[in-house]
Amino acid sequence: MFGTRGQTTAPVGRSIGDAVTLVDVTMNYGTKYAVVHAVRQVALGFGRGSMTAVMGPSGSGKTTLLHCAAGLIRPSAGQVFIGETDISRLDEDSLARLRRSRISMVFQAYNLLPALTAEQNVMLPLRLAGHRPASAQVIDALRQVGLADRAKHRPGQLSGGQQQRVAIARALITNPEVLFADEPTGALDVHNGREVLSALRHLVDVRGQTVVMATHDPMAAACADRVVFLSDGVVVAEQRQPTPETVAAKLAALGG
Ligand X SMILES: Nc1ncnc2c1ncn2[C@@H]1O[C@H](COP(=O)(O)OP(=O)(O)OP(=O)(O)O)[C@@H](O)[C@H]1O
Task: Give the helix/strand (H/E) hosting 190.
Answer: helix 190-207
Contact between 96 and ligand X by CB under 6 A: the answer reads: no
Selected binder of ligand X within 4, 43, 53, 56 (CB under 6 A): 56
Contact 42, 235 (CB under 8 A): yes
Output the smallest distance, CB 127 to ligand X, in A. 31
Interface with ligand X includes 59 (CB under 6 A)? yes
Q: Among candidates 85, 84, 66, which has minimal Cα distance to 25? A: 66
H or E segment and range at residue 123: helix 118-128
Query: How many amino acids of this chain bind ligand X (CB under 6 A)?
Result: 12
CB closer to ligand X, 64 vs 174: 64
Which residue of 21, 64, 192, 215 would you call a contact of ligand X, by CB under 6 A? 64
Q: Which of 11, 12, 16, 30 binds ligand X (CB under 6 A)?
A: 30
C-beta closer to ligand X: residue 59 or 146? 59
121 to 160: interface string for ligand X, x by CB under 6 A = ----------------------------------------
Among 60, 104, 163, 215, binds ligand X (CB under 6 A): 60
Alpha-carbon dihedral 198, 204, 209, 211, rounded to 10 degrees: 70
Q: Are strands 18-31 and 34-47 parallel, antiparallel or unpaired?
A: antiparallel
Where does residue 12 fall: left (phi above 0), alpha (psi -120 to 50 degrees), or beta otherwise? beta
Among the listed ranges 60-68, 121-129, 154-162, 191-199, the one in contact with ligand X (CB under 6 A) is: 60-68
SS3 42: strand
Supply the DSSP string of 154-167, one letter for each residue.
Answer: -GGGS-HHHHHHHH
Closest distance to ligand X from the beta carbon of 143 (Å)? 32
Among 14, 62, 102, 226, binds ligand X (CB under 6 A): 62
Q: Which of 25, 38, 42, 145 binds ligand X (CB under 6 A)?
A: 38
Torsion angles phi and psi, residue 247, rounded to 5? -70, -45
Kindly tell me which of 63 and 117 has the beta carbon lying closer to ligand X: 63
Question: Closest CB to ligand X among 160 and 256?
Answer: 256
Query: What stretches of the chain adopt beta strand conformation (E)?
Result: 18-31, 34-47, 51-55, 77-82, 85-86, 103-106, 178-182, 210-214, 226-231, 234-240
Q: Which residues bind ligand X (CB under 6 A)?
A: 29-30, 36, 38, 56, 58-64
